[in-house]
Structure 1
Amino acid sequence: MKTLKQLLPFFVFLLVFGLSHAQSGEKDPLPAKVVEAVKQGDISRLSPFLNDKIELVLPGESGIFSKEQAHFILRNFFKDNKVTSFQILHHGTRQNATFAIGEYKCANEQFRMYFLVKTTEDGKSLIHQIRIEKQE
């Protein structure tokens, strides 16, 4: 069972951005190309959506990384954890930021993925944070 300390970042994340379930007619929180890239474990298709600096929190690795560093870290994650399915479970919006929570399944493991996406002044959606937590 997870301790409160382990779950605290998740609760803060939800508190700041407000949890809401996907509703019909509501704009998707992640560009369709991002969802497809994750479904295929394809970092080269995901990279264009990464901000120049991105916060990554993965099992065994966390910090703020350049887009290039994040590319290699995520490439290794996808290589080591071949996706069998990915779906968005929840998403919400607040001002110029959206978040999405998805379920990433592998052959023998399951992960919860959290994305924080901010829209730039020119209307481009960029990922500022990705959190990946192993589900037990």
Structure 2
Amino acid sequence: MPMLALLFMLPLAVKADAIEKIAEYLKKGSSTELSQLFANSVDVSIANESSVYSKTQAQMILDKFFKENKPHGVKLLHRVSSNPSYNFAVYILTTDKGKFRIACTLKEVNKVMEIIELRVETEKT
């Protein structure tokens, strides 16, 4: 019986990877938690405005986006994590103002996956 209990506890012991964490932070609309995964400079594109920002600037831009678009849910649409140094994910974020497609590119820096690019586009249905 103790072995069976261990099997149920196993998911608690496995740490969520960066792609899953991003989904969680997007769903919560937490620019603060999301910014912890940002590289020192991040290429951010929201509403056809694109530039490279510092971690702090990128957080402020994302914070404004979340204030204008309250998240209700998120779905991981696509994930590429076959390369241990680079990952890519596409999410569909449902908000009170509609759906958005969010693409994230991550790069491994000092054994930690960091967001180097974040693109937010209106979801075309």
**Which one has a larger percent strand, Structure 1 or Structure 2?**
2
Q: Does 2:45 match 1:57?
A: yes
Larger radius of gyration: 2
Work out whether residues 30 and 100 of structure 1, in 8 Å CA contact, stay in contact via their aligned partners in 2. Answer: no
Structure 2 letter corresponding to 1:78: F
Q: Which residue of 2 aligns with 1:107?
A: 96
CA positional deviation for 1:123 = 1.1
Identity %: 27
2:32 partner amino acid: S
Matched, 1:135 2:123: yes
* Unpaired segments ≥5 residues, structure 2: 1-15
1:126 and 2:104 aligned: no
Question: How far did 1:108 drift?
Answer: 3.3
Aligned residues: 108
Contact 1:29 1:91 in 2 (8 A): no
Q: Over aligned residues, Cα RMSD in angstroms?
A: 1.6
* Unaligned stretches of 5+ residues in structure 1: 1-27
Q: CA deviation at 1:39?
A: 0.8
Question: In the alignment, which residue of structure 2 is the partner of 1:35?
Answer: 23
